[in-house]
Amino acid sequence: MLSLSHAVAAAPTHSHGSTAGHQHGLAQMDIALEQKQLTVSVQAPLESLLGFEHAPRNDRERQRADALLKRLRQPEGLFVTDAAANCRLTAAEVQSPTLEKKEKGAQAAVDGHADLEARYTFQCERPAQLRQLQVEWFNAFPQLRRVDAQVVGPLGQHKQVLRGLSRAVKLQR
């Protein structure tokens, strides 16, 4: 019995807690259009956006981390909506405890991986004119190769994989 419990304890754990679905090069976006409100919730490994996922260790990493947070908090150009829909950004929340070193070690404890979460809210005056949402993240973040989008809106619910030149999320027929 002693050896059995020992074997169990020694077995590698595959529970990754909050990093479930964590895959380098990938980001997940939940996109919802409900009446006039468009929301985009992003979850991405820091590796996908920054190239590393530990708290910054030197000035260069600190600068890159700060630049990333600033870019994501002022997301001009990262999302492009149809002009006729007249959407404006009303909220941008970005959270990355690892980069903001509020919980030093707390998140890094999960086998060295760390995620970034962001949530964007837009208000669209004419949502019926919002045919698609262009996700322009690939040029901004060269490490990002794929976005798995889960979309809820007038078309119902669908999944879309974005990559390279295919980065328009369909919202209307």
Closest distance of CB 27 from Zn ion, Å: 12
Where does 11-110 have alpha helices with state H?
46-50, 59-73, 97-100
> Number of helices and strands (H, E) in the chain?
4, 9
Residue with tokens 């090069």: 25
Question: How many chain residues are in contact with Zn ion, going by CB under 5 A?
Answer: 3
Contact 16, 115 (CB under 8 A): no
For position 167 contacting Zn ion by CB under 5 A, the verdict is no
The region of 8-16, 107-115, 141-149, 154-162 touching Zn ion under the rule CB under 5 A is 107-115
| Residue 116 binds Zn ion (CB under 5 A) | no
Secondary structure letter of residue 42 according to DSSP: E
Closest CA relative to residue 32, chosen from 162, 167, 173, 151: 151
DSSP label of 143: T
What sign results for the dihedral spanned by CA atoms 122, 88, 153, 26? negative
Least distance (Å) from Zn ion to the CB of residue 98? 11
Residue 172 phi/psi, 5° resolution?
A: -140, 165
CA distance 134 to 73: 18
- For Zn ion, the closer CB: 48 or 81: 48
User: Which is nearer to Zn ion, 44 or 69 (by Cβ)?
Assistant: 44
From the CB of 45, what's the least distance to Zn ion, in Å?
Answer: 4
Residue 153 engages Zn ion in binding (rule: CB under 5 A): no
Q: Which of 38, 42, 43, 45 binds Zn ion (CB under 5 A)?
A: 45
Applying CB under 5 A, which part among 9-17, 41-49, 120-128, 157-165 lies near Zn ion? Answer: 41-49
Q: Is position 113 an interface residue for Zn ion (rule: CB under 5 A)?
A: yes
- Residue nearest Zn ion by beta-carbon distance: 113
The footprint of Zn ion (CB under 5 A) covers 45, 47, 113
